[in-house]
Amino acid sequence: KKAAEPVTGLHAGFQMYSHARAWAPDIKMISCASIDIAPVKATPGKSGAWQIQFASEALSQKRAYTFSVAEVSVTLHSGITADTPTGWSNDNRAFEMAAAKVDTDDAWMTALKHGEAYSKKNPAMPISYTLEMGRLIHDPVWRVIWGESATSSEFSILVDASTGLYLETLT
């Protein structure tokens, strides 16, 4: 059997999207985040697991879906897992999945161009990714994070997920 390999955010996203549409045909994406898993080493622009929050305006609910390329634990299985839906009131932060045209491998390349010096100083630092609607632009934005999470990171770069353009460096 071939060893599990990490995948890009949109690759995992499209897998989850088809399952989520069975739950609610009007789904939009609220957020997407990479999940570092021990059995599968992340590579630039790719991760072993991803989680997406989808929302349904018609149902006034949101629901998290997780995609993993490997069996990790009792709660993180290989394939797609859906959490129980919870209430959601439209906060205008959800977006059509088709608006995210740039995948994490390309977002990584753009971020690396603008964060090369920081990356060279911190070569062992894990890289994580989040996708959410931009705060200053009306497009989804990839946040390429040097570190485990946005809250603990001292350095990250925002890339427009519709155009692939560099937006901002956050320190």
pLDDT digits (tens, 9 = 90+) for 76-114: 889 999 999 999 988 888 999 999 999 999 999 999 999
User: Residue 2 half-sphere exposure, CB side, CA atoms within 13 Å?
Assistant: 4
Instruction: Check residue 78 and give its pLDDT.
Output: 93
| 1 pLDDT higher than 80 | no
CA angle 100, 104, 109 (to 5 degrees): 120
pTM of the model: 0.94
Span 33-37, average pLDDT = 96
- The dihedral through the CA atoms of 72, 77, 81, 87 has a sign that is negative
The amino acid that residue 51 corresponds to is: Q
Q: What count of other Cβ atoms lies within 10 Å of the Cβ of residue 84? A: 7
- The secondary structure of 75-93 as a DSSP string is SS-SEEEEPPPEE----S-
149, 164 in Cβ contact below 8 A? no
Q: How many CA atoms lie within 13 A of 26 on its CB side?
A: 8
